[in-house]
Amino acid sequence: MVQTGNVTEFIFLGLSPNLEIQRVCFVLFLLLYMAIVLGNSLIVLTIKASKSLGSPMYFFLSHLSFVEICYSSTTSPKLIADLLIERKSISLEGCIAQVFFLHFFGGIEMFLLTMMAYDRYVAICKPLHYVTIMNYWICGFLVGMAWLGGFLHSTAQILLIFHLPFCGPNVIDHYFCDVLPLLELACTDTFFTGLLIVGNGGMLSIVSFVILLSSYSVILFHLRGHSKEGRRKALSTCASHITVVVLFFGPCVFIYLRPNTTCSLDKMVAIFYTVITPLLNPVIYSLRNAEMKNAMRKLWFRALKEGETWKE
């Protein structure tokens, strides 16, 4: 059991103490969260329902979209609800659970993005062996390893803060629970624990980011020998992925590759990887992808046709 000391709950300061700003943020983040759920659900549904989207890239994308919904749901509903109340509290157990699922789904997303980069590398640099290397069983195994990796990463984070005593104060200058704000509230020396957390979370982010950059560097080098049309098509596919990678990994590296201290920018930066990136995922992958747009259009026409048939 967590060593609680005298603390049984934590109080969030939220995004702003101004009531007018909170009301505006409530409407804004409610709409953004609805867009995240609907947009990513549409991607999952389209990929599952369309035979033309059966390649490994879309298999990984469907899992990424599902994880984006789960990841955003870890923090957004609580944020939205707290914008309507004055006292923004969370139990100690709820705080620990939020930390676990935040890093669980965040870890899965990191691994999935890395696997998608590897998929693009094989597709562009080893096209003759693509079907053999990225077969159904290999893709399933990789996704399973992503979930296992996310679980191990999150479990390690929880174990590092599980033994910490919290005696007070219990006010967190944030809108969700995370390891670094909790370290500041622990009534014990957390320097060594902070280093371990940076080593776990920060190094995971930076190593994954370096692997991704290396993969795309090799891809760009390999594209020199392709035709102009081939380069355009390959770069169009990779550009969507690179955009998501930068938007997700940039803020994560900023937050988790620092000593165990927080700063005033953390809340604004956290919005990028908990709200903005999950929101942009369906926009980037659908609007920049002709196959996805055609599949969505066919799915829409099929739904309309079935609706008319049902009415008759």
Answer whether residue 4 is part of any domain. no
Angle at CA of residue 56, ends 55 and 61, nearest 5° = 105
In the 8-state DSSP scheme, what is residue 172?
Answer: E
pLDDT(84) > 70: yes
What integer is the mean pLDDT of 157-178? 87
Residue 151 has pLDDT above 80, yes or no: yes
Could you give the percent of the chain with pLDDT greater than 90?
31
By mean pLDDT, which of 68-72, 93-97, 186-190 is the weakest?
Answer: 186-190
First to last CA, the chain: 60
Confirm whether 291 is domain-assigned.
Answer: yes
pTM score = 0.88
At 188, is the secondary structure helix, strand, or coil? coil
Q: Ranked by mean pLDDT, which of 203-207, 222-226, 300-304 comes out on top?
A: 203-207
Number of domains in the chain: 1
Residues 6+ apart with CB under 8 A from 304: none
Q: How far apart are alpha carbons 188 and 186 in whole angstroms? A: 6
Cα distances from 162 to residues 178, 181, 193, 252, in angstroms, run 13, 14, 11, 22
Q: What is the pLDDT of residue 277?
A: 86
Residue 189 sits at φ, ψ, to 5 deg, of -75, 120
pLDDT at 207: 80
Q: Please say if the pLDDT value at position 202 is more than 80.
A: no
- The C-alpha R_g of the chain, in whole angstroms, comes to 21
Mean pLDDT of all residues in 152-173: 87
CATH number at 157 reads 1.20.1070.10
Q: How confident is the model at residue 287 (pLDDT cuts 50, 70, 90)?
A: low
Query: pLDDT exceeding 70 applies to what percent of the chain?
Result: 89
Q: Is 224 exposed, middle or buried (0-12, 13-18, 19+ CB in 10 A)?
A: exposed
Asked, for residue 5, whether it belongs to a domain, the answer is: no
Range in 78-87, 97-106, 188-197 with the lowest mean pLDDT: 188-197
Q: Residue 202's domain spans which residues? A: 10-306
pLDDT tens digits along 134-148: 998 999 999 999 999
Of 218-222, 234-238, 251-255, 267-271, which one has max mean pLDDT? 267-271
pLDDT of 1 reads 44
CA dihedral of residues 15, 16, 22, 26 (deg, nearest 10): -10
Q: Considering the domain boundaries, does residue 3 fall inside one?
A: no
| Weakest mean pLDDT among 22-26, 49-53, 118-122 | 49-53
Residue type, 65: S
Better-predicted residue by pLDDT, 202 or 17: 17
- Residue 311's pLDDT is what? 53
In a domain, 90, yes or no: yes
**HEC per residue, 22-35:** HHHHHHHHHHHHHH
Residue 229, pLDDT above cutoff 80: no
Neighbour-count burial of 66, counting CB atoms closer than 10 A to its CB (0-12 exposed, 13-18 middle, 19+ buried): middle
Task: Tell me what the pLDDT averaged over the chain comes to.
Answer: 84
In a domain, 259, yes or no: yes
* Any domain includes 311: no
Q: Is the pLDDT of residue 154 over 60?
A: yes
2 domain residue, yes or no: no
Judge whether residue 12 has pLDDT over 60.
yes
For 42-72, the pLDDT digits (tens) are 999 988 888 778 888 889 999 999 999 999 9
Band (pLDDT 50/70/90 cuts) for residue 230 is low
